[in-house]
Structure 1
Amino acid sequence: MTEQYITTKIRNRAGIKVKSLFLMVFTISVISLNATGPEDLVYITEDYAPSNYLENGELKGVAVDLLRALWNKMGVENQAIEVYPWARGYQMVLNRADTVLFAMTRNKDREDFFKWVGPIYRGRTSIITLSDNYDGIESLSGIMSGKLGALRDDLGYHLLIKEGFNPELIWEGNSVEQLVKMLESRRIDYISIYEDSMREYASSTERELQDFKTVRVLSENVMYYAFNKDTDDSLIKRFQIALDQIDDQRRSIVESYMGIP
């Protein structure tokens, strides 16, 4: 065996070792890009009372207060929460790693797109009209003859489509206030919306809850924190354990906003 051959062989082996080390470092670097703790996540919500809403510039609501209680339980300082329209926030948590959107109804259509922590609270999505505009029609076929509105890309919108309503005939709004104004101006006849959001809106605007009539219940909802599907399972488990441990506090928060435990 010549000296040149021996030198070449040693260099090749060294090259293999260097490449292996590079791959190990690269792999570790990629893994480290994923969130490892609650403080590494981006928290997203919408302005949609009573779950999460702005009042005099302050973000509050059932899901907001409960999230802060979760951070405290996990020994984490309060984190920033970004507020976006629902459709934008939904796309962000669907496509961006290390994001959390709340509060989201958990159902079979969404089940595999996210990882979940909850429940936060329960409620109903219904078709609602003005009481003085109620004509006794409660069948879906009868309601279809009217004009409907829903929040853009919200569960209420998707439930209407699932029930057979033409999406091109559903007026899409960006806020509860916008939908109610459309309803009061008779530009639409019904809105598909979360009932507790209507209660909160009526209370905050000094309207009477009796001014609105639930025509038909579309679904019973269970609200959760929805995490991007690539979030590490150990982090999801950490959140869920913390939530289970403060269940009494969760009930108290829900009752303070909604009057029900």
Structure 2
Amino acid sequence: MLKFTPYLFSILIMSIPPKLIYAQDINILADGDFAGEIDKITENEVGGIGGEIVTKALKAANISYKILWRPWKRAFSEAQENSDKKTFIIPLTRNKEREEKFIWVSKIYESKTIFLTLNGSKNVDSMADAKQVKVGVLAGSSYETILLNPDNALDKAKIDAVPNDNTNFKKLIGKKIEAWFTLDIVANTLISTQGKNEKMEFKDFRIGKPIAIQEKYIATTSATSTELVKKVSNAFETFKKTSAYADIIKKINKK
């Protein structure tokens, strides 16, 4: 019988292609309920604007990945922990409250926050308008941060934060909230999909004026090695120069 000596072990290791030994696989935290942005298709397949960009950019650069599906608040918490030192999160809005907590690897797209109301109600086009109504928002999101900003002087008792935007959409239709503060991408997607189940169309809603631009990133923390951050960043920066990326971005303003 052949003895497995240290010498034979070293020969075996040398025979393995370097790429297999030093493969820099990454984990990606995501919430599959970000309608139109990040849609869960299968356990490791992502749809939506953000999902399509991320998967195509990484595959083009031969970077393997695993999607870790989590509710948003948990995803955000685990991203900050980054216990395996190779965890990234999508899509993370860049703002001053988060600036020092993350490494902003690459901007993947941007969208606008808006207030959605039912037809027959007044448009909510500003924070001043929002003071007069009960507003639904995604808990733990950058949109909730905007609403809670003391400068906007909104009554916290009139802000209804819930774990996912499907709930906000249903509450708006059921008139349990008077306005929903979200992204234009998310609002458009849920009107197109969930609205059909309620026999409602775009004409049944009023979309307010844009409140703020949301820059969406793939991000990680300083625990991730500089080399891995650079590798992932290069993958996205290269992909953003392609026609495939341009075609995906065009979908944002189709509605």
Alpha-carbon distance change, 59 to 175 in structure 1, aligned in 2, over 3 angstroms: same
Q: 1:184 aligns with which of 147, 151, 173?
A: 173
Amino acid at match of 1:251: A
Instruction: Answer yes or no: is the 8 Å Cα contact 2:172–2:179 preserved in 1.
Output: yes
Whether 1:160 and 2:155 are equivalent positions in the alignment is no
Instruction: Answer yes or no: is the 8 Å Cα contact 2:133–2:158 preserved in 1.
Output: no
Structure 2: 5+ residue stretches without partners: 1-21
Equivalences for residues 7-156 of structure 1 within 5 A: 38-39=24-25, 41-46=26-31, 47-55=33-41, 59-77=46-64, 79-97=65-83, 98=85, 99-134=87-122, 138-156=125-143
2:218 match: secondary structure: strand
Amino acid at match of 1:90: F
Structure 1: 5+ residue stretches without partners: 1-35
Distance 1:179 1:137 in 2: 16
Q: So what's the TM-score if we normalise by structure 1? A: 0.76
Between structure 1 and structure 2, the one with the greater Rg is: 1
1:132 match: secondary structure: coil
User: Could you report, residue by residue, the CA deviation over 1:67-87 in whole angstroms, capped at 9, with x for unpaired residues?
Assistant: 22232233234x221211111
Alpha-carbon distance change, 139 to 196 in structure 1, aligned in 2, over 3 angstroms: closer
How far has the Cα of 1:237 moved from its partner?
1.4
Alpha-carbon distance change, 124 to 37 in structure 1, aligned in 2, over 3 angstroms: farther
How far has the Cα of 1:224 moved from its partner?
0.7
Alpha-carbon distance change, 182 to 258 in structure 1, aligned in 2, over 3 angstroms: same
Whether 1:258 and 2:223 are equivalent positions in the alignment is no
Q: So what's the TM-score if we normalise by structure 2? A: 0.78
Distance 2:148 2:54 in 1: 32
Instruction: Answer yes or no: is the 8 Å Cα contact 1:37–1:235 preserved in 2.
Output: no
Distance 1:140 1:253 in 2: 31
| Paired position in structure 1 for 2:217 | 224
Distance 1:242 1:139 in 2: 38
Please give the root-mean-square deviation of Cα atoms over the aligned residues, in Å: 2.3
What percent identity do the matched residue pairs reach? 19
More helix by share: 1
Alpha-carbon distance change, 45 to 193 in structure 1, aligned in 2, over 3 angstroms: same
